[in-house]
Amino acid sequence: MKNVLGIILNVDGEDTTLKNFLEHRSLSTLPFGGRYRLIDFMLSNFVNSGITQIGVIGSHKYSSLVDHLGTGKEWSLSRKTQDLSILTGSSNSRIGSFIKINLRNLINNRIFLENSNADHVILATPNLVTSYNFREVFAAHQKNDADITMIYKKDHGKYQFRDDDLCLNLEDDKITNIYYRSTRRTPFFFAEMLIIKKSVLLQFLDFSDRSGDWDLIDMVLSNMDVLKILGFNHSTYIKRIHTLSNYVNASMDLLEYEVIQDLFRDDNPIYTKIKDNHPTYFNDPSKVSSSIIGSGCSIDGAVSRSIIFRDTEIDKNSKVQNSILMQHCQIGKNTILNYVVMDKDTIISDNTSLIGKPDSPIVIKKGTVI
């Protein structure tokens, strides 16, 4: 897939209940699964698909993105040779209407597009937890000489929709119309990944630059009669993270064997920034069940159905259940945590009980001491 340019979009303008975790980081670098950041999944999907030139559109919270991606070596990319480029981003909000893919983000990075020898561009958001190889969909895109191929998912009842989610009307594999979910619903929804001919995308940018900010989807809708737009089914696991609820649900999905098998495949590994930590120490009489424990932890208490990130300490006689603890947390003695989501560097003192609810977990900000 040397003829393809990959771009990971900025979605930091979304209204999200994750705001307590996004004060100092972008949504793309939200910690996930004990050791990963959300962007690791899409970036790894691009690399595993053979895409060798990738742009990541950042936000005003650049530091977390730059720190995580570094030189790109963990993904076999190099910023020095421009395999990986961190691009400037703009606001994703627009008063009075929905916006999915702000063309202003691409106009501001037009030089990056024009300098690429690629004839096709894959656009995807960074907050999708999925293991996906683009080779098959790109082969279909080329074979059918499509202008745009939109990847869709059949509604399985577990995807948490919003009014600005897109439903697709399909006839065979051709997309004949696109609807915002607030106006009409179909069994197929846009999975926020698409392939577009670079020549078509540049035409869109020209028009948008002359006439004001446009959403890419609005531009596609305005050209349905002249473009060949196909759909391609995504048949495996996918979750989009944009609220606290689906962050927790997707995290707990990782405790299911079938999901782990689907996400972390030998032929499509998920790469992340390497930490040279020592192994986790499980002291007697610690008990751990149905949980993910990152490296460098010290566990003296009991942990069940929880995600524990690196370098976290859980002291004696403490119980952690149904919870997510990010890096460098310290849990004192005789403490009970149930349905708690806490950011990094949090300290919970001895003899403390924090009990949330399945649909309303207790959220603790970074660096809090209780």
DSSP state of 10: P
pLDDT at residue number 157 = 62
In whole angstroms, what is the distance from residue 203 CA to residue 3 CA?
A: 19
Q: Which residues of the chain have pLDDT under 70?
A: 13-15, 80, 90-100, 156-160, 163
DSSP state of 360: B
What φ, ψ does residue 221 adopt, rounded to 5°? -60, -35
- Asked if residue 56 lies in contact with residue 43, where contact means CB atoms within 8 angstroms, the answer is yes
Q: 48 and 74 share a domain?
A: yes
Q: 156 and 41 share a domain?
A: yes
Q: 67 and 179 share a domain?
A: yes
CATH number at residue 355: 2.160.10.10
Task: Domain of residue 84: give its range.
Answer: 4-263
**CB under 8 Å to 86, separation ≥6 — which residues?**
55, 56, 58, 62, 65, 66, 69, 79
- Which of 199, 232, 263 is the last residue before a domain boundary? 263
pLDDT at residue number 95 = 37
In whole angstroms, what is the distance from residue 217 CA to residue 332 CA?
A: 50
Element holding 177 (H helix, E strand) = strand 174-180
Mean pLDDT of the chain: 90
Q: 306 and 252 share a domain?
A: no
Q: 20 and 129 share a domain?
A: yes
Q: What would the pLDDT profile of 26-43 be if each residue is shown by its tens digit?
A: 999 999 999 999 999 999
Q: 350 and 232 share a domain?
A: no
Q: 218 and 301 share a domain?
A: no
pLDDT at residue number 10 = 87
Q: Is 308 helix (H, G, I), strand (E, B) or coil?
A: strand
Q: 297 and 245 share a domain?
A: no
- Which of 263, 297, 319 is the last residue before a domain boundary? 263
Q: Is 93 exposed, middle or buried (0-12, 13-18, 19+ CB in 10 A)?
A: exposed
Alpha helical stretches, state H, the chain: 39-48, 62-69, 103-107, 110-115, 135-143, 198-211, 216-222, 244-253, 257-263
Q: What would the pLDDT profile of 173-224 be if each residue is shown by its tens digit?
A: 999 999 888 788 888 999 999 999 999 999 999 998 887 778 898 899 999 9
- Asked if residue 313 lies in contact with residue 295, where contact means CB atoms within 8 angstroms, the answer is no
